[in-house]
Amino acid sequence: MLKIETIWHYLLYEALEKGRTAFTQQDLAVEFSVSTSTVHHALDIPTRLGAIRKTGKGFVVENFQKLLYYWASVRRLERDIIFSCYIDKDVRQIEALVPAEAIYAGYSAYRMKYQEPAGDYSKVHIYLDKVVKQELLARMDVGRSDKEKEPNFYVLKKSPDMEKYGTITTIPQTFVDIWNMSDWYSGEFITQLKDKMHGLLPW
């Protein structure tokens, strides 16, 4: 993800899962080890959209939905794909084989968060900081013939700050990632996630 995306992610996570909506640019600069100009850049368009409201000493997340949908609209999930392949197993078997350092994403993250899927799904997405291709192929038991089929397993580049959120993506991250998936069943997951987020919003 781009650095500004990691900032949006943090703001959305804090607002949704901790009820915190007030921040300062300096605090964010320290949190992400970036300049205040980078933080200012991240807040520019969300402020003009009314998602962020500047205050005397900082700013607040004024409209959670606007910030969430803006991030979803500019997210380019395909840029983060560093490996994909077809694995001749069902999704639960694939999920059980992923490396311990992986962060589950997309449909798998939804299922693990809520203990059940919003619907059937046939693709598994994970975040990893690096991929040793042959080791991963061996671990996932990918046969030679499988390499010619449409992928159902995707590895996305993990940014360093993602680990602090746990072993599955946060609710905002899961929403934004699924929003950028074209599978026919993605809409049902989005609908269910919107309902679940609505019940958590502090306003």
Q: What does 45-79 look like in DSSP terms, one character per residue?
A: HHHHHTSEEE-SSSEEE--HHHHHHHHHHH--GGG
Mean pLDDT lowest among 2-6, 125-129, 132-136: 132-136
Q: What percent of the chain has pLDDT over 90?
A: 69
pTM of the model: 0.92
- Beta bridge partners, 124, equal 153
CB atoms within 10 A of CB 201: 11
Alpha-carbon Rg for the chain in angstroms: 18
pLDDT at 203 over 60: no
What's the CA gap between 83 and 157, in Å, rounded?
Answer: 9
Mean pLDDT lowest among 141-150, 166-175, 177-186: 141-150
State the chain's maximal CA–CA distance in angstroms.
62
179-196 average pLDDT score: 94
Strands laid side by side in the 59-61 sheet: 22-23, 59-61, 52-54
Q: What is the dihedral of CA 118, 124, 130, 134, to 10 degrees?
A: 170
pLDDT at 143 over 90: no
pLDDT at 10 over 90: yes
pLDDT of amino acid 132: 67
What's the CA gap between 22 and 7, in Å, rounded?
Answer: 14
Tens of pLDDT, residue by residue over 16-47, are 989 999 999 999 999 899 999 999 999 999 99
Tens of pLDDT, residue by residue over 72-83, are 999 999 999 998
**Long-range pairs for 24-27 at CB < 8 Å and ≥24 separation?**
24/57, 24/58, 24/59, 25/58, 25/59, 27/58
Tens of pLDDT, residue by residue over 81-96, are 998 999 999 999 999 9
pLDDT at 137 over 90: no
**Which domains are assigned to the chain?**
3-74 (1.10.10.10), 77-198 (no CATH)
Contact, 157 vs 84, CB < 8 A? no
Q: What percent of the chain has pLDDT over 70?
A: 96
Residue for token pair 């781009």: 2
If you ran DSSP here, which 8-state letter would residue 82 be given? Answer: E
127-132 average pLDDT score: 82
Query: Would you place residue 1 in the very low, low, confident or very high pLDDT band (cuts 50, 70, 90)?
Result: confident
